[in-house]
Chain A
Amino acid sequence: MTLAATTAAAHGFLSPTGVEVAFVLVGLATLGAALVTVTTRQLVHAALWLVVALGGLAVEYLLLTAEFIAWVQVLIYVGSVVVLLLFGLMLTKAPIGRSPDADSGNRPVALAVALAAAAALVWVVVDAFRTTWIDLDGPAQGSTDVIGQILFRHWVLPFEALSVLLLAALVGAIVLSRKKKEDER
């Protein structure tokens, strides 16, 4: 209790630093965008709000000094995944505008489960880490330089394996989505 008291006294929640204020504000925006993503009745809007949420997350990465991850986030998620999703929506002839049946009948159950999960997780996380302090001073820990160093020094093998996985996924996606010719049916 004493240790918690000292650290808490050193960095109280009631006297946030500038980074913290920024993090909370961006976090609220991110959360709000995410909420709209899962609740909006306009499918294309959901994808666009997802862009906001993922972009907000990229900012959070920056605030955590993980620069490289942040740019990767922007590039891959915002740049490619969301585009992919939009293409998917179009190819499945998703209705433009408000669709009344965007949510399934499972919604109350989903709400209950999600709230319970949120409550449990937040309770546990807060209970465990309410006095933990991240020291963000010093050199950036997620600079491209650092990540490149460790990625190609220590994580080379998984990295290469991952490339095989990506190749397999690519082939699989092509096979699955290829339209069969009429005479092959």
Chain B
Amino acid sequence: MTTTTLAVLVPLLPFLGSVAGLLLGRTAPGLVRPLAVLPTLTAAVLAALVAARQGGGRAIDAATQLTPTGSVPIDLALHIDGFAALVAVLVGVVATCVQVYSTGYLRDDPRYPSYAALVSLFTSAMLLVVYSGDLMVLLVGWEVMGICSYFLVGHYWETPEARSASLKAFLVTKLGDVPFLIGLFALAADAGTFRITGVLGAVASGGLDHPTVIALLLLAGVAGKSAQFPLHTWLPDAMAGPTPVSALIHAATMVAAGIYFTARLLPVFAASAAAMTVLAVMAAITMVGSALAALAQDDIKRVLAYSTMGQLGYMAGALAVGDRGAAVFHLLSHAAFKALLFLAAGAVIHAAGTNSLTAMSRMSGLARRVPDAYWTMTVALLALAAIPPFAGFFSKEAVLVAAEHTALGERDVAPAGAGWTVLVAGLLTALLTAAYALRLWLRTFRGRGPEAPDHGRQPIAMTSVLWVLAIPSLGFGTTVTYLDDWFDGHALTPTLTTAVLGTGLAVAGAVITYAVWRTLATRTPVTASVPAPVPRVAHPDAEAGQVEAEALHLPRPAEDPADPGRALLGPLHGPAAAGFHLDAVYRTAFVRPVLAAASLVRFLDREVVDTYVRAAGNGAKGLGWLVRRAQTGNVQTYLSALLAGSVVLAIVAVALANAVAGA
């Protein structure tokens, strides 16, 4: 088979698997698991094969036109360069892991068939986005992901949290997608084609008339999908979905799509210094703000969600300084360790019967209950905190190096101001990231109190996946010297300055957090003796998915004074825990006016428009009543009316004749 055929099969197989799963889900339950796992696995293998054949060399381009589409042609096009090949491998691997994990995690879920089919569809859409060489086809995958995320986040639709979270995810990403669509049209109008190669060619020859407008419009869509400030608010709430879905959305698909899209069309953005600066500021705000918020969260999955936003901020920052190699490198390594973090967190939540860090900190021995999750999560957290030699260290260093080069003027793709912004924010975030990573680890696995409950071992489907993902989290950094060939050719190796700065700050953050934790722990030793009721789920022995769904309902435990995050943040803790009240701001700025406008429209419709309608109806009814009164059945009345009319007509006729004769 040619490479092109293989590449076409990569998005097609999960799609077919999804369709088959939806069709056969009820009639043949035994086929659901193979239909969920096998196509995704095959797609991952094929993606790896495509990557091996492509080998980071010349981009593979293939196109076919289904039907003429007027002045701007839309092609079914493939454009596989090093970025696409590697990201597709990543998507395939993570999706396979998620599917395998889900077979254990949602073992007894009655909606598992549709869930698996939607995950397959999601994967297929992401692979389409990755491989597509045409912006319109890319948009199809982009929107399919949006609707799939709506269904998957709302998997536990019995709970109001999941319902509102799925709606929020859909609406907020759509809010970005509208300008995105307009931006795509503007781009195609300027470039005269939807083909990515054509667009990049037009940019290279300076063919764009409105680069800033286009770039800013596209950035809105990217911000919505990749959860960048100010359209990030859907991501923490999306935790209401099952944990594997969170892993999929946060690691490989959805959020990665925005970064990947920007990386693909980076020359378009780079054509406008203003857009690059906006992207840099956006990334900086997202990084620092999300890191602060992550430090204050109590829900383990929300901590991870905010950390995802922060890491996406790094990627956006790398793009803002014009180094897409670093961005995609961080995307790859982040995908590995963040998928691992979520999947491990799912196991931890299952074991602890709660998703609250405070509740976990009041039980001991959680690490012994879930040793696989404990060890792999430790690895992933070290990678997240960018401690060498874990994967996160190398990719984050690549970002910081690119920012440093731009700031010092060694690279001129982006303005120096953008470089400084990203560099400073990145270093500050490195400190905060280490702090919240350690806090998460300490609160989860170093709790003191009664023994954690024992539910036996996790299913092999869940634990094995954790170890599979631990390998890239641990060792992906070693590939750094080979990777630059696949990307633009910039060196991705760390330099001494940023390595020392970044690692030093990370270690400093970790040390401070640990010190505070120790101090608080010794100062408040009574925590264990106080019979604080730890809220737990009702069916701790049930399968993991059900435990998580029930955990969504648990009451939040009271604020824990032993939380190092509270001490570290001080007065910032309250706002940070609430996501800096951005939701409230949006509520007053957008939701309330929209609701008010809706009620106004309803009033206009009910009271004003309907009045006319009702008046028309009542008028006809009244006339009918009057005319009905005339139907007396008395022949003489009818005849009288008839003859009176005749007389009147005759008089009029005569009068008219006289008038005409007289005139």
Direct contact of A and B (CB under 8 A): yes
A interface vs B, CB < 8 Å? 104, 106, 109-110, 112-113, 116-117, 120, 123-124
Give bound CA distance, A43 to B640, whole Å. Answer: 22
* CB < 8 Å neighbour of A112 from B636, B644, B651: B644
- Contacts A104-B636, A116-B651, A120-B654 supplied; 8 other A-B pairs, CB < 8 Å: A104-B634, A106-B636, A110-B636, A113-B644, A113-B647, A116-B647, A120-B650, A120-B651
For the complex formed, measure the closest distance between the CB of B629 and the CB atoms of chain A, giving whole angstroms. 15
- Determine whether the beta carbon of B640 is less than 8 Å from that of A116: no
B643 an interface residue at 8 Å Cβ cutoff? yes
- Determine whether the beta carbon of B640 is less than 8 Å from that of A106: yes
* CB < 8 Å neighbour of A113 from B634, B643, B651, B654: B643
- Determine whether the beta carbon of A109 is less than 8 Å from that of B640: yes
* CB < 8 Å neighbour of B647 from A104, A106, A117: A117
For the complex formed, measure the closest distance between the CB of B22 and the CB atoms of chain A, giving whole angstroms. 74
Give bound CA distance, A109 to B640, whole Å. Answer: 7
Interfacial residues of chain B within 634-650, with CB under 8 A of chain A in the complex: 634, 636-637, 640, 643-644, 647-648, 650
Question: Which 6 A-B residue pairs are closest in the complex by CB-CB distance?
Answer: A106-B636, A109-B640, A116-B647, A113-B644, A117-B647, A120-B651
Give bound CA distance, A183 to B651, whole Å. Answer: 56
Chain B residues positioned under 8 Å from A104 (CB to CB): 634, 636
Give bound CA distance, A106 to B635, whole Å. Answer: 10
Chain B residues positioned under 8 Å from A120 (CB to CB): 647, 650-651, 654
Chain A residues positioned under 8 Å from B647 (CB to CB): 113, 116-117, 120
Chain B residues positioned under 8 Å from A113 (CB to CB): 640, 643-644, 647
Chain A residues positioned under 8 Å from B636 (CB to CB): 104, 106, 110
Chain B residues positioned under 8 Å from A109 (CB to CB): 637, 640, 644
B interface vs A, CB < 8 Å? 634, 636-637, 640, 643-644, 647-648, 650-651, 654
Dominant secondary structure at the B interface: helix
In the complex, which of the residues A104, A112, A123, A124 has the most CB atoms of chain B within 10 Å of its own CB atom? A124
For the complex formed, measure the closest distance between the CB of B645 and the CB atoms of chain A, giving whole angstroms. 10
The contact sample of 19 A-B pairs, CB cut-off 8 A, is A104-B634, A104-B636, A106-B634, A106-B637, A106-B640, A109-B637, A109-B640, A110-B640, A113-B640, A113-B643, A113-B647, A116-B644, A116-B648, A116-B651, A117-B643, A120-B650, A120-B651, A120-B654, A124-B654
Give bound CA distance, A116 to B651, whole Å. Answer: 9
For the complex formed, measure the closest distance between the CB of A133 and the CB atoms of chain B, giving whole angstroms. 23
Chain B residues positioned under 8 Å from A110 (CB to CB): 636, 640
For the complex formed, measure the closest distance between the CB of A90 and the CB atoms of chain B, giving whole angstroms. 24
Give bound CA distance, A104 to B643, whole Å. Answer: 17
Give bound CA distance, A135 to B159, whole Å. Answer: 110
For the complex formed, measure the closest distance between the CB of B51 and the CB atoms of chain A, giving whole angstroms. 100
Give bound CA distance, A123 to B657, whole Å. Answer: 14
Give bound CA distance, A113 to B650, whole Å. Answer: 12
For the complex formed, measure the closest distance between the CB of A112 and the CB atoms of chain B, giving whole angstroms. 7
Chain A residues positioned under 8 Å from B650 (CB to CB): 120
Task: Give the nearest-CB partner of B636 in chain A.
Answer: A106
Give bound CA distance, A112 to B643, whole Å. Answer: 11
Chain B residues positioned under 8 Å from A117 (CB to CB): 643, 647
Give bound CA distance, A106 to B638, whole Å. Answer: 10
In the complex, which of the residues B636, B647, B651 has the most CB atoms of chain A within 10 Å of its own CB atom? B647
For the complex formed, measure the closest distance between the CB of B377 and the CB atoms of chain A, giving whole angstroms. 100
Give bound CA distance, A104 to B632, whole Å. Answer: 14
Chain A residues positioned under 8 Å from B654 (CB to CB): 120, 123-124
